[in-house]
Amino acid sequence: MTPEQLESRARAELRKAADPRAAARAKMFFKPWEKVFFHGVGTPDLRLIERGLYQQVNRSWSHAEIVEFADRMARSRFNEEKALGLIMLAREWKRYERNLLTVIRGWLEEDCLDNWSLTDLLSTKVLAPLIGRHPGIEEELREWWKAGNPWVRRAGVVSLVPLVRHARYQDLAYEAVTALAADKEDLIRKACGWLLREAGRSDQQRLEQYLLRHKSALSRTAVRYAVERFPEEKRKWLLAATRG
């Protein structure tokens, strides 16, 4: 079976499982002006469909064929089709090649994955394992933070979230937030706060010191996200102490 054939099969199965009411509910998680399209297939059913499709090709497909399938699905109109391709690609993390980073950035720059749910799925399940598999590749994220495309910038931050949870790349995480502290996009501010919060899992003292030192630069959104895991009294104190 070719990637093109599996693409057709995947779309047929998703259309068969579609629920217009579920599609309407899914759109409620996005802003009214965001162009998002859903079949209306819930996550459990989506993963079940993906698992069945993967079983048909996992013993015969090369890494390149998996990437081609994910690329075809990324160019779909529907969120579930895009997500299915990413979920299948995520299974292949042990075979990730370094040049996958270029493919990923291409998807983002071409707005193939142009909402927070798809960008975050890509970042946490594909990009983060790619960084972990190829030491040194994380250095390229510094260029992502400067990108004009907000999805590239968000991915450059969110991809570090699973890594800092295990006390890895802490210095890079704080560097990312500092570089993006003045970003006007709310989705970037939230991503920075999320990254700080996760960095604080392993070292709350460092996070506290960072917030106090950079209080004049950080957005209130980022700070509110960052302090969520502090004890209540400390959280309230930090919110007050970091107010400009």
Three state DSSP letters for the chain = CCHHHHHHHHHHHHHHCCCHHHHHHHHCCCCCCCCCCCCCCCHHHHHHHHHHHHHHHCCCCCHHHHHHHHHHHHCCCCHHHHHHHHHHHHCCHHHCCCCHHHHHHHHHHCCCCCCHHHHHHHHHHHHHHHHHHCCCHHHHHHHHCCCCCHHHHHHHHHCCHHHHCCCCCHHHHHHHHHHCCCCCCHHHHHHHHHHHHHHCCCCHHHHHHHHHHCCCCCCHHHHHHHCCCCCHHHHHHHHHHCCC
Could you read off the pLDDT of 80-119 as tens digits, one per residue?
999 999 999 999 999 999 999 999 999 999 999 999 999 9
Predicted confidence at residue 244, as pLDDT, reads 66
| pLDDT bucket at 212, cuts 50 / 70 / 90 | very high
Could you read off the pLDDT of 37-64 as tens digits, one per residue?
999 999 999 999 999 999 999 999 999 9
| pLDDT bucket at 34, cuts 50 / 70 / 90 | confident
pLDDT higher than 90, residue 33: no
Domain with CATH 1.25.10.90 in the chain: 1-95, 114-244
Token digits for 123? 């970042």
Predicted confidence at residue 47, as pLDDT, reads 97
Could you read off the pLDDT of 171-198 as tens digits, one per residue?
999 999 999 999 999 999 999 999 999 9
Average pLDDT over residues 6-26: 97
Predicted confidence at residue 209, as pLDDT, reads 97
Average pLDDT over residues 66-73: 98
CA 222 to CA 242: how far, in whole Å?
11
The listed CATH number (3.40.50.300, 3.40.718.10, 1.25.10.90, 1.10.1330.10) that belongs to domain 114-244: 1.25.10.90
**Average pLDDT over all residues of the chain:** 96
Q: Percent of the chain having pLDDT more than 70?
A: 100
CA 244 to CA 66: how far, in whole Å?
49
The class level of CATH for 1-95 reads mainly alpha
Contact status, residue 42 vs residue 67, Cβ threshold 8 Å? no
Contact status, residue 96 vs residue 134, Cβ threshold 8 Å? yes
